[in-house]
Amino acid sequence: MLNVHGEWPLVGRDGELKDVRDALLDAGSSGVIITGQSGVGKTVLAQRTARGLDDSFELVYVRGSALAAKMPYGALSFVLSDLDDAIVDNPLMLLRGLQELYERREDGRQTLILADNLEDLDSSSSMAISHLVRVGAVKLIAICQSIDASPEEFCDLWKDGALRRVDVGPLGLASTTRLLSAALDAPVSRSVAASMWHTTGGNPLFLQALTREQVDSGEMLERDGVWVAKPSTAPKTRRSVSDWIMVRLRRLSPEEREVLELVSVVSVIPHELLLRFVSSGPVDALQQKKILQLEHGDVPLVRVANGLVSEVVRAQVPLGRGRELLRALAAESRRWDMPALARMTYASWCLDCGADIDDESLIDAAGLANRHFEGTLALRLVHAIPGHASMAKAVIEKARALGIDGDIAGGLRTLEQFLGSGVAHSVEEWIDVRILQCRLLVRSPARYVEAEPTFEDIRLRLSIEAAAATGMGDAVQKVDVLAAELAVYNGRYAEIIEEHADLHDFHADQHDSELLGWLAEALAMTGRQDDALRLATSVLSRLLDTTKDPLLHEQAMARVFKLLVLSGRWQECLGMLASQDQPAKDSAYDGSASEFAEGCLLAYSGRGTEALDKLLPALSQLRTRDRHQILPLAEAATAYAYALVGEVRAAQEHLLRARHQPERLPWHAARAVDYFSALASTATDSPLEVAQRMLDLADEDRAFGNHGHELMFLCQSMQLGLDDVADRIVSSALAVQGPFAEVCALYGKGIASKDVHQLLQAAQKASEIGNYRLGADAARLAARLAGEQGDHVTVTEAEKVLRNVGAPGVAGRRGALDSLTERERSIAVLVAQGRSNRDIAQVMCVSVRTIEGHVYRLYSKLGVSSRSQLALLLE
C-alpha cells in the first residue's frame, strides 16, 4: 500500500543535510551539534548523513538516557569492555585509552561518534567525548533539543568553534505537503496539508503519528486519486497519540502545566491578560522550551506552538481544578478584544466538559464560527442554548449555519418559523432576520424571485420606522449594504454606480467599508478597474489601521485579489498567492480555496498542465466539502484545463458536472462557469461555434452595462477566429481600464490592420501580465505574418515570446509535422477543419476513444493546446 505505516522519507532537509555533511568533511571542523525540538527529525538527519558518508568513517552510536545518566560513563559502558580494568579505574588512563582506541584504528578509518540526547548524557561520558573531540581523535555529531540544557562541555566546543551548529526547525507547509504526498503515495489536497501542518506545527514525528491515525480512522480518505479530509473542523486524535504527548509533558513543573492548560483551553490569549493570572516565570520557561510561542503585534498573543499538543492538553484539563481560574479568565476577557479563535475554542471546551457558559458567549462563538464557515460548529453552539428557537440572534446564527452547510431550505424554514411564532422582537431584530432571509432567498434556485419583494418589504418597514423614531442609522446602513449585495449577486453593477455616485471621490474613511467594497467591484465590472483598485486598496488600508479583525482584513484582501484578476494582472495575482503560501490558522479560507484560485488563474492563462496540478487536488477536496460554493466553477475550470491538454473525454465529464448547481450562483461566478464551459467545449465543437457562443455572452454583458467583463468574452471570440469583432474589441478596450484592456486594444488593432508590430506588442504585454495563451496566440500570428512579409526581426522577437510562455514557435512546430504518421496528418487536417472527434471517427471507421488518443498525441508532438492553435499551424 503506502509508506504511511513504514519508514517515512526525509523531506525538506536538503540544506541541513548539506550543512552537517560539510561540517564533518571539513578538515578544520571537529563536527556538528544539531539542535531542535523533539520530533523534528534530528536523529534521522544525523543517521542519514552518517550513512551517506564514505567508508573512511567508523560510526559509534552513543545515546544519553535518564537511567544511564546516574552512572559514571553510563553512556560509554559498551566501550569500556574493550579496555583493561586497570585503565577503566583510572580517569587519566581511561581518557588516554579511549584516545588510543579511536585514533589508531587498524583499518585507517576515522571514528565518528553520534551522540544523541545530550541532555541525559552523564557528566563522565560528556567529559570523555569532549576530550576526544578536542584532541582530534574523533569527529562528532551531537544531538540535543537545546544547547543551554546540554552538558557544558558541548556548549564550550560550539563556542570555541570546534563544532558547527545546525538548527532544525519544523517543516513549512510546502515541505509538509511533499512529505505527506510521499508517505501516502498520492497527492494531498492543500486543505489536508494546511490542516495537518497547523495541527502538528510542522513536527514530522507528530505528523507521522497523526497521519497514521487519520488514515486508519477514515478521517482522511482517498478520493479520485487524491487524499482529502472528511468535513470536520480539525483532525481528531486517538488515545495512542494523546498518551505519547502526555508522557513527554510529564517533565513540566506544576506551574508550567497550569499555564499550558490555561492557554490550551482558549487556544490563543493576549500576553498581558495571561500574566494577570499566572507569573511570567513559567510562561518564559515554556517559550524557551518552544511549547508556547509569542506572536508580536499591536497586541502580543500567546499560543501553544503545536496545535496537536494544545488539543490533547485541552481534552485532559481537570474541570474541578480549572473551573475557578477559567471562570475568572472568562469574566476578565470581556474587557479585552479576545481573538475569535479563543472565544470559539473556549465555548467548545465548555460544551465538551460541561462547564458553565452564558448564552451570550455561545451566540458570539456561533457567529464567529459562521464567519469562519464552520456551520456544523455554529449549529452545535446554538443548540446548546436553552430556548434558542425564541431568540432572534440565536435563530439568525442557526439559519446562517444551515446556509453555510448548503441547506438553504432549512435556513429559510428556521427564519420563517421564528417570524410566524408570535415571539416578541424588536424592529432591529425583525430587520436582521429579514436581511438574512433575503440573502438565503437569492441563493435558492426555487425561490430567488422572492428576494426582491422581501427586500422591498424591509425597505418599506425601515422607512416607516425611521420616520417615527431616531436611532435607525445602523439599520439604514445594513439595508444599503444589502441593496448593493443583491445588485452584485444579480449582475446589476450599473445600479450601484448610479445609486452611490457620491462615493466616487474615494473618501474611504467616511463610508461603510462593506458598501465601498461592493462599489469597487461594480467599478471593475463596468470597466473602471484602476479606479476600483484604488478604492479597494484604500478600504484595505483603513481596515488595517482601524480594526484588528483578521477576517475583515482577509475579506478586503480577497476583494483586492478579485479586482486584480478582473483587470488582467494575473502574474501579480499568482505572486500574491505564492506570498501567502502558509494560510493562517484562523483564516476563513482553507488551503483548497487558494489552491483552487491558483488553478483557475493558470487555466485562464492557458497553462493546462500546471492548472490541473492545482485544480485536481482542490476539486477532490471540494467534492467532500464545498463551503464557499465554488465547486461548479472548479469543475468548469478543470474541464477547460483538460481540453487544453487534449483530454477530450475528461473535459466532457467535468463539463457535465459543472452544470450541476445545487444553488443559484452569484452573477460573476455563473459567468466564470460560462466562460470556462465555453472554452472547454473547444475539445468537441468547432472554434467558430465556440467563438460565436463567446460573442453572445459578450452581448449579454454589454446589455447589463458590464463592459469590463464583456472584454474577456470578446477577446476569446477573436482568439477563436472571429476576426470581424476586431474593431469592436478595440473600441471596447479603449473605454476600459487596466492592462488586459491595453493588450486587447493592441491585439484588435493588430488583427484589424494585420500590423505585426501591434501584434508583437500585444504578445509581449500579455506575456508580462501572465496571460500566456493570449500571448502565444498573438505571437504566433505575428510570426506568421512577419514571415510572409520577410520581417525576420519580428519573427525572432515573436519566437522569443513563445519561448518565454513555454510554447514552441511556428517554425519549430511546423518542423514537428514531419514526425507525424500518415494517419496523424489526416486527423490533424480534419481537426483543423473544425470536425468533431465523433465525425472524424466515422470518417476513419474507428472508435471515438481512438481518435481522442490520436488528438492528444498530436497536441503533444506539435506543442499546441487547442484546435484553434492547430488550425493556425496548418494554414
What's the sign of the alpha-carbon dihedral 361, 367, 372, 376? positive
pLDDT at residue 146 tops 50: yes
Helix (H) or strand (E) holding 51: helix 42-52
- pLDDT score recorded for residue 591: 79
Quick one: what percent of the chain has pLDDT higher than 90?
46
Contacts (Cβ under 8 Å, ≥6 apart) of 778: 747, 750, 759, 760, 762, 763, 766, 801
**Residue that is written with C-alpha cell 430587520 in the block:** 431
Q: Which of 768, 719, 738, 774 is nearest to 605 (CA)?
A: 774
Q: What would the mean pLDDT of 807-818 be, rounded to a whole number? A: 50
Per-residue pLDDT reduced to its tens digit, 664-685: 999 999 999 999 999 999 988 8
Per-residue pLDDT reduced to its tens digit, 423-449: 878 899 999 999 999 999 999 999 999
- pLDDT score recorded for residue 817: 59
Return the top range by mean pLDDT from 70-84, 513-527, 570-584.
Answer: 513-527
Q: Say if residues 189 and 621 touch (Cβ distance below 8 Å).
A: yes
State the pLDDT confidence band at 321, using cuts at 50, 70 and 90.
Answer: low
Average pLDDT, the chain: 86
Distance CA 146, CA 119 (A): 8
pLDDT at residue 524 tops 80: yes
DSSP of 132-143, one letter per residue? HHHTTSEEEEEE
- Quick one: DSSP state of residue 606? T
Q: Say if residues 508 and 542 touch (Cβ distance below 8 Å).
A: yes
- pLDDT score recorded for residue 444: 96
Between vectors from CA 67 to CA 64 and to CA 72, what angle results, nearest 5°?
A: 75
Per-residue pLDDT reduced to its tens digit, 229-286: 887 655 555 566 777 778 778 888 889 988 898 888 888 888 988 888 889 999 999 9
Distance CA 182, CA 179 (A): 5
Using DSSP bridges, classify how beta strands 163-167 and 220-223 pair: parallel, antiparallel or unpaired: unpaired
Per-residue pLDDT reduced to its tens digit, 861-875: 676 656 666 766 665
Least confident of 69-73, 394-398, 480-484, 768-772: 69-73
- pLDDT score recorded for residue 775: 93
State the pLDDT confidence band at 811, using cuts at 50, 70 and 90.
Answer: very low
Distance CA 416, CA 849 (A): 52
Return the top range by mean pLDDT from 212-221, 474-483, 832-841.
Answer: 474-483
pLDDT at residue 813 tops 50: no
**b/e map of 96-115 (b: 16 or more CB within 10 Å)?**
ebbbebbeeeeeeebbbbbb
- pLDDT score recorded for residue 762: 95
- pLDDT score recorded for residue 812: 43
Helix (H) or strand (E) holding 61: strand 57-63
Q: What would the mean pLDDT of 64-91 be, rounded to a whole number? A: 72
**Residue that is written with C-alpha cell 468574452 in the block:** 713
State the pLDDT confidence band at 1, using cuts at 50, 70 and 90.
Answer: very low
Please provide residue 215's backbone torsions phi and psi, each rounded to the nearest 5 degrees.
-70, -45
Contacts (Cβ under 8 Å, ≥6 apart) of 7: none
Q: Within a 13 Å sphere around the CA of 465, how many CA atoms are in the beta-carbon half?
A: 17
Write down the pTM of the prediction.
Answer: 0.81
Least confident of 34-38, 175-179, 303-307, 724-728: 303-307
State the pLDDT confidence band at 583, using cuts at 50, 70 and 90.
Answer: low
Per-residue pLDDT reduced to its tens digit, 698-735: 999 999 999 999 999 999 999 998 999 999 999 999 99
What 3-state DSSP class applies to 561?
helix
Helix (H) or strand (E) holding 32: strand 31-35
Using DSSP bridges, classify how beta strands 292-295 and 301-304 pair: parallel, antiparallel or unpaired: antiparallel
In DSSP terms, 163 is beta-bridged to: 31
Angle between helices 687-704 and 707-719 (to 10 degrees): 170
Per-residue pLDDT reduced to its tens digit, 189-235: 988 998 889 888 899 988 998 898 888 888 888 888 889 988 765 55
Q: What would the mean pLDDT of 499-526 be, rounded to a whole number? A: 80
Contacts (Cβ under 8 Å, ≥6 apart) of 58: 105, 107, 109, 110, 111, 112
State the pLDDT confidence band at 399, using cuts at 50, 70 and 90.
Answer: very high
Q: Say if residues 752 and 744 touch (Cβ distance below 8 Å).
A: no
Provide long-range contacts, Cβ within 8 A and 24+ apart, for 275-284: 276/332, 277/325, 277/328, 277/329, 277/332, 279/255, 281/255, 282/253, 282/255, 282/256, 282/258, 283/259
Q: Which residue has the higher pLDDT, 479 or 841?
A: 479
Domains of the chain: 14-167 (3.40.50.300), 173-235 (no CATH), 237-351 (1.10.10), 491-568 (no CATH), 813-874 (1.10.10.10)
Cell of 494: 450599473
Look up residue 513 and give its amino acid.
S
